A and B are shown apart, each in its own frame.
Chain A
Amino acid sequence: MPLGNLESLRYFLPELAITTTILLLIVVHVVGKNRRSPAAALLALVGTGTALLFAWMTPAGEGMGLFEGMVVLDGFAVFFKVLTALATAIVIFMSIDCLELADRTQAEYYVFLLSVLLGMFLLSSATDIVMVYLALELVSIPSYLLAGYLKGKASSTEASMKYVVYGATASGVMIYGFSLLYGMTGSTQISEIGRVLTMGTVPLPALLAAVMVTVGFGYKIAAVPFHMWSPDVYEGAPTPVTAFLSVGPKAAGFAILVRFFYTVFASPGDADGMWKLSSSVDWPFLFAVMSAVTMTVGNLIAINQRNVKRLLAYSSIAHAGYMLMGFVMLSTAGLKAILFYLVVYLFMNLGAFYVVVLVENGSRSEDISHFSGLGRRAPLAAVSMAVFLFALTGIPPFSGFIGKVYLFAEVIHQGVYWLVLVAGINSVISLYYYARILKVMFLEDPTHTGELSVAFVPKVMLAILVVPTLLLGIYWEPVIRIAESSVRILTN
């Protein structure tokens, strides 16, 4: 039995911490005289840290319904809460160092950032389609504003406009799919919807609903063909926001994608750690094709990019494609691989964007030519970038390799050889454009002379991001164990 509203508050501490911080930030914004003071950033950091601690310490147990079954508290939700809070904390550090944002109003920025975090917390624990829709919009609407935060800069404003049009349309299509599901089953609880669908329904509306819901979730994780917004938004948005969007909402999108499809359109199978399809909709095959197309399109278009931010945008589309491979296997091992990959991806992708921020501070441009000779101008930043790029490619002994091993191994284990072949070829293609950045950084002469000074805090942050990227390539046992136990709870 799910808990009532008042009893649930006790288990809702992380979300309450974020809400309190958002309200305090608004007060700081109204009362504070200096709109550019760093107090807002510190407050946001404390709030995020508190939420992270509360999320980490909540007794997850076997999964407990809260607020009359609107959200659930289980290991799977806790995993994504910790992941997204960690990403947000790193992005706050990145925003403090980013000169692009330095002359803008501070408090409002962090209000939007934390609102997205609250949305991601709810999205990763939602078990009712009303909550899924509200949480998805709570992630989306502040994201539009964050993308357009550099008001007066043409690219940033244009990015947010395109984001609004794509986002609003995608979520409109998604709730039409929800209305079909509600019409077929008469319930808004996803477990109840799944139970009714198992008893056999007309296949066509179920298929239509599955496709429409995929539009909404596919847009959040930026899977082809719903990726059209992401390169433009990633290029136009302030760099810390780009880094945030490429990790946080993408992870939350995967959380709801897994929870929704594995509850509504699949049920635990007879064999241990396997699921079986509960309706006649063959969605794993559709998603397998989507996964192959996503990684291929992302990698092929990335080859020609000269803007490093846009290049990383296409690379993040490709990584969503890799992770979708784990999603279509209908097995615990596949989901475990996604969760592990998300952890690895968080460190390596945020790290790469951190270096872009540092270079951008010196040159006010993300063009690849500004990276030339970075090996001499800022050795620490260049070496860190090399580590992140090697990890993104998936070269041993870096952590990205281990992430890919788990994904590829499960696909081979299930015997889907064509998908492994596509993914393997794609990894080779990705090596080409990642290596191009390396070549520019280390082998070309600097076109812009002068030392690129890196302050103390960014140095520490780079180290904090490099260490897990290296360490998870050698000793990954604890993380994989946490990922496994988080997925196990989903089975029950």
Chain B
Amino acid sequence: MMDPSAYLLLSGILFGIGVAGVVVRKNVLIILMSVEIMLNAVNVAFIAVGSHLGDVTGSVFAFMVMTVAAAEAAVGLAILIAIFRLKETIDITELSVLKW
């Protein structure tokens, strides 16, 4: 049974990078990529814990996350294309039809 702490640290750093990307970046494409980094950080954590415990559920969860991430990316990119056709920009600060 390996020690998972190094992997958990890696997962924490990756997650931090993903969150920072979502908060800071203005380009929707980069934001969606940052969300993918967050999800992969989760995968690293699940697989590290799973293999530490000798439990296969962690790896199974990682597969589920990958599947859902693919579906989410497909939908997100499709909507991104629809936005680009209307506005010719994917800068999130330009999405200002709706506001209070």
Contact = CB atoms under 8 A, between A and B. Distances in A.
Interface of A: 129-130, 133-134, 137, 141, 144-145, 148, 151-152, 154-155, 157-162, 164-165, 168-169, 172-173, 175-176, 178-180, 182-183, 186-188, 231-232, 235-236, 301, 304-305, 310
Given A176-B15, A179-B42, A188-B61, A165 B28 contact: yes
8 contacts: A130-B64, A145-B79, A154-B86, A157-B82, A162-B98, A164-B32, A175-B39, A182-B58
Contacts of B92: 165
- Interface of B, secondary structure class, is helix
Contact of A134 (B57, B68, B97): B68
Nearest to B4: A183
B15 A155 contact: no
Bin the interface of chain B by size: 35 or more
Interface of B: 4, 8, 11, 15, 18-19, 22, 28, 31-32, 35, 38-39, 41-42, 45-46, 49-50, 53, 55, 57-58, 60-61, 64-65, 68, 71-72, 75-76, 79-80, 82-83, 86-87, 92, 95, 97-100
Contacts of B35: 165, 168-169, 172
B61 A182 contact: yes
A130 B79 contact: no
Contacts of A172: 18, 35, 38-39, 42
B49 A137 contact: no
A137 B82 contact: no
Given A158-B95, A161-B83, A169 B22 contact: yes
B60 A130 contact: yes
Nearest to A236: B98
B9 to A, nearest CB: 13
A456 B89 CA distance: 45
Contact of A188 (B15, B31, B57): B57
Contacts of B49: 179, 182-183, 186
Contacts, number: 121
Nearest to A314: B100
A372 B83 CA distance: 34
Instruction: Give 10 nearest A-B pairs by CB, closest first.
Output: A172-B38, A179-B45, A232-B98, A183-B49, A168-B35, A164-B76, A137-B68, A158-B95, A186-B53, A175-B42
Contacts of A148: 79, 82
A188 B56 CA distance: 11
A160 B79 contact: yes
Given A154-B87, A164-B76, A165-B31, 20 more contacts: A130-B60, A130-B61, A133-B68, A141-B71, A144-B76, A148-B79, A154-B86, A157-B83, A158-B83, A161-B79, A169-B35, A172-B18, A176-B38, A178-B61, A179-B42, A179-B46, A183-B4, A188-B57, A231-B100, A236-B98
A161 B28 contact: yes
B27 to A, nearest CB: 11
A482 B79 CA distance: 42
Most buried by A among B28, B38, B80, B92: B38
A304 B100 CA distance: 9
A324 B15 CA distance: 29
A168 B32 contact: yes
Most buried by B among A130, A183, A231: A183
Given A155-B98, A179-B45, A134 B64 contact: yes
Contacts of B18: 172
A176 B8 CA distance: 11
Contact of A168 (B42, B61, B76): B76
A39 B22 CA distance: 42
A101 to B, nearest CB: 17
Nearest to B94: A158
Contacts of B38: 169, 172-173, 176
A175 B83 contact: no
B20 to A, nearest CB: 12
A155 B97 contact: yes
Contacts of B42: 172, 175-176, 178-179
Contacts of B100: 231, 301, 304-305, 310
Nearest to A234: B98
B79 A168 contact: no
